[in-house]
Copies of this chain bind each other. A is one copy, B any other.
Amino acid sequence: MRLSRYFMPILKENPKEAEIVSHRLMLRTGMIRQQSQGIYSWLPLGKRVLDKVNAIIREEQNRAGAIELLMPTLQSADLWKESGRYDAYGKEMLRITDRQERPMLYGPTNEEMVTDIFRSYVKSYKDLPLNLYHIQLKFRDEIRPRFGTMRSREFLMKDAYSFDLTREGAEHSYNKMFAAYLRTFSRLGLRAIPMRADTGPIGGNLSHEFIILADTGESEVFCHKDFVNFDIPAADTDFDDVDGLKAIFDKWTSVYAATSEMHDAPAFEAIPEGERLSARGIEVGHIFYFGTKYSEPMGAKVQGPDGKEHFVHMGSYGIGPTRLVPAIIEASHDENGIIWPASVAPFDAVVINMKAGDAACDSACERIYGALRNAGTDVLYDDTDDRAGTKFATADLIGVPVQVIAGPRGVANGEIELKDRKTGARETMTIEAAINKLTA
Using a CB–CB cutoff of 8 Å, the interface residues on chain A facing chain B are 5-7, 9, 30, 33, 35-37, 39-44, 46-47, 50, 65, 67-76, 91, 94, 96, 98-100, 102, 104, 106, 113, 116-117, 120-122, 130, 132, 137, 139, 141, 143, 153-154
Contact = CB atoms under 8 A, between A and B. Distances in A.
A116 B69 contact: no
B120 A33 contact: yes
Contact of A69 (B36, B43, B67, B98): B43
Nearest to A132: B7
Contacts of A143: 99
A139 B139 CA distance: 15
Contacts of A139: 74
Nearest to A126: B4
A70 B149 CA distance: 13
B120 A65 contact: no
A30 B121 contact: yes
Closest 3 pairs (CB-CB, A-B)? A9-B121, A42-B70, A36-B76
6 contacts: A7-B67, A7-B130, A7-B132, A37-B100, A41-B70, A94-B98
Nearest to A129: B5
B6 A74 contact: no
A117 B36 CA distance: 12
Nearest to A163: B7
A36 B42 CA distance: 29
A74 B39 contact: yes
A33 B40 CA distance: 30
A71 B113 contact: no
Contacts of A120: 9, 33
Contacts of A42: 69-71
Most buried by B among A9, A99, A102: A99
Contacts of A73: 73, 137, 154
Contact of A104 (B36, B70, B98, B122): B36
Contacts of A113: 35, 41
Contacts of A36: 72, 74-76, 102, 104
Nearest to A92: B99
A95 to B, nearest CB: 9
Contacts of A67: 6-7, 44
Given A33-B117, A96-B94, A121-B30, A44 B69 contact: yes
A309 to B, nearest CB: 19
A16 to B, nearest CB: 16
Nearest to A116: B35
B99 A35 contact: no
Contacts of A30: 121
Contacts of A153: 74, 98
A344 to B, nearest CB: 16
A255 to B, nearest CB: 34
Contacts of A75: 35-36
B104 A99 contact: no
A47 B70 contact: yes
Contacts of A37: 100, 102
B71 A35 contact: yes
Nearest to A141: B99
A72 B40 CA distance: 6
Nearest to A122: B9
Most buried by B among A30, A73, A75, A132: A73
Contact of A99 (B9, B41, B91): B91
A23 to B, nearest CB: 17
